């Protein structure tokens, strides 16, 4: 199993992972399953997650902050918000600092990501994780689990970027000119959502949750199963 091959059937995959898994925290996570996946979207408990990293390569770069917030199609509850800083193994590159604005001194005393993994798993267990760009978030979290537990971490995701791409998708003969941007901020503007400063993990998580609510309100069928939209 690796982050490039997403299982067809998550229920089966979770059951198998729960059996094979050695670390108690991961086993608890898989045993909780993803009950929401087989429920209508409107009844599914969701958690929006965003990470900031030192770069884009999950094999070399580190996660330095994580933000998440529970929500559903009605409400985003800020009192459930969690935010962690994590100390990277390598130095921060100036390029990455200009993006996320987290500096050396701020993360010097932060814990390593490893020591946060148990808490992170607990916070997302039993919910469906919503991200903007699963292709980045998924491998980083997979790597983090491999480093800490020596075992894989995989879970279904709702990807607002993927959903937006399918919403604005047009067959090639109808396309002309530049393709619309799929950046978080660009997607939000299509729904009359306010502009936020980007690249702060918790605000990005809130921002992604708002976008998902808007997408659901406009384009998704709330009675359909969450699994119809997940990846």
Partner 1 sequence: MDVELSEILDTLCEYAPFADLKDEPILQEMVKDIEIQYLRVGEWAIAPEARNDNLFFIRSGAVETKNKSGKLLRRMHEGDVFGSSSLLRGGRSSHTMRALEDSLLYRIPARWFIQFYSEFDSFSDFFELSKEVRLKTAVDSQSSDLSLMTCPVHSLLRRPPITASHDVDIKTAANIMSNERVSSLLITQNDALVGILTDRDLRNRVVAKGLPLDVRVDMIMTQDPVTVDAGDFASEAVLKMMATNIHHLPVVKNDRPIGVISTGDLVQRESHGSVYVISDIYKQEDVEGLVQISKKMEHVFTQLVNADANTQMIGNAMSHIGVAFVKRLLQLAEREFGPAPIPYCFLALGSQAREEQIISTDQDNALILHDSYDKNIHGDYFRELSDYVCKNLDRCGYPLCTGDIMAMNPRWRLSLSDWKKTFAEWIEKPKAEALLHVSIFFDLRGIYGDKTLARQLNSHIRELAKTNKGFLSALARNANQRTPPLGFFRQFVLDGEGKQSRTFNLKSRGIAPIADLVRVHALALGSSKLNTFERLEDIEEAGVMPDGRARDLILALEMIGMVRIKNQKNQIENGDSPNNNVNPETLSEFERRHLRDAFNIVSRQQEFLKYRYPGKG
**Residues near partner 1 (CB under 8 A):** 67, 71, 74-79, 81, 83, 191-194, 196-197, 200-203, 206, 209-210, 213-214, 217-218
Q: Which two tokens stand for residue 31?
A: 């045993």
**Among residues 76 and 141, whose Cβ is nearest to partner 1?**
76
Handedness of CA 63, 65, 70, 75 (dihedral sign): negative
Q: How far is the CB of 66 from partner 1 (least distance, A)?
A: 11
Nearer to partner 1, 64 or 209 (CB): 209
What CA–CA distance (Å, rounded) separates 84 from 64? 8
Give the Cα separation of 204 and 83 in Å (integer): 11
Min CB(212)–partner 1 separation in Å: 9
Give CA angle at 31 (27, 35), nearest 5°.
145
Indicate the residue among 21 and 187 with the shorter CB distance to partner 1: 187
Closest contact distance (angstroms) between CB of 110 and partner 1 is 13
Nearer to partner 1, 179 or 189 (CB): 189
Q: Which residues, in sequence order, are bridge partners of residue 83? A: 67
């Amino acid at each position: 199993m690796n982050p490039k091959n997403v299982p067809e059937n998550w229920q089966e995959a979770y059951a198998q992972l729960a059996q094979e898994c050695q670390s108690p925290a991961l086993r608890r996570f898989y045993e909780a399953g993803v009950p929401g996946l087989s429920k209508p979207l409107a009844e599914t408990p969701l958690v929006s997650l965003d990470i900031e990293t030192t770069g884009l390569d999950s094999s070399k770069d580190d996660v330095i902050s994580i933000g998440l917030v529970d929500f559903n199609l009605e409400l985003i509850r800020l009192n459930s918000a969690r935010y962690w800083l994590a100390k990277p193994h390598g130095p921060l590159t100036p390029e990455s600092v200009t993006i996320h604005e987290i500096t050396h001194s701020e993360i010097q005393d932060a814990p390593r990501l490893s020591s946060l993994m148990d808490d992170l798993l607990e916070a997302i267990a039993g919910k469906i994780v919503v991200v903007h760009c699963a292709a980045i978030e998924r491998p980083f979290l997979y790597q983090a689990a491999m480093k800490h537990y020596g075992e894989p971490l995989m879970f279904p995701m709702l990807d607002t970027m993927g959903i937006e791409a399918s919403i604005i998708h047009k067959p090639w003969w109808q396309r002309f000119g530049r393709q619309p941007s799929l950046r978080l901020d660009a997607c939000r503007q299509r729904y009359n959502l306010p502009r936020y400063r980007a690249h702060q993990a918790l605000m990005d998580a809130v921002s992604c949750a708002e976008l998902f609510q808007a997408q659901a309100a406009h384009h998704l069928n709330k009675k359909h199963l969450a699994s119809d939209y997940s990846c």
